[in-house]
Structure 1
Amino acid sequence: MPDMKNWYESKAVWGGIVAAGASLAGLLGVDLPDGAGHDLVEALTALAGAIGGLVAVYGRISADKRLK
């Protein structure tokens, strides 16, 4: 597959994580307001992108070989 992305860039993956988390929270007695799941997926997707960018910058700074 030529157009690949990291797992943390997938809204489907984050949606599944949020859905599983919401189910577990419901079992523990925590109620999420309506629409909070969508907002949480958007926030987690943005956070994952930011973390990925920071890791990429750190990787380049800490690398011991130059780019050609």
Structure 2
Amino acid sequence: MLNLKPWYMSRTIWASAVTMLLGIAGLAGMPVDGVDNAALTDTVLQAITALSGLVAIFGRLAAKERIGKR
């Protein structure tokens, strides 16, 4: 396994986070019996991808300097 990727691109990390959130929600009294963990993880990943795209676009539009060599 030589390829590296950021932690937030890991499906394992997101699945674990979703599992922890569902556990906390269950402890708080929310009904989570019918939640499909895999589908929820995919939805969270898609939302994060869309959000990061928006941040990249708005970040580039708000930038004060050009990209490239000086």
For the aligned pair, the TM-score class normalised by the smaller chain equals: 0.7 to 0.9
Q: TM-score, normalised by structure 1?
A: 0.78
Equivalent position of 2:26 in the other structure: 26
Unaligned stretches of 5+ residues in structure 2: none
Alpha-carbon distance between aligned partners in 2 of 1:43 and 1:24, rounded to the nearest angstrom: 19
Q: What residue identity is the alignment partner of 2:17?
A: I
Identity of aligned pairs, percent?
29
Q: What residue identity is the alignment partner of 1:21?
A: L
**Who wins on radius of gyration, i.e. which is larger?**
2
Question: Displacement, 1:2?
Answer: 5.8
Q: What residue identity is the alignment partner of 2:9?
A: E
Alpha-carbon distance between aligned partners in 2 of 1:64 and 1:26, rounded to the nearest angstrom: 46
| Aligned residues between the structures | 66
Answer 1 or 2: higher relative contact order, Cα 8 Å, separation at least 6.
1
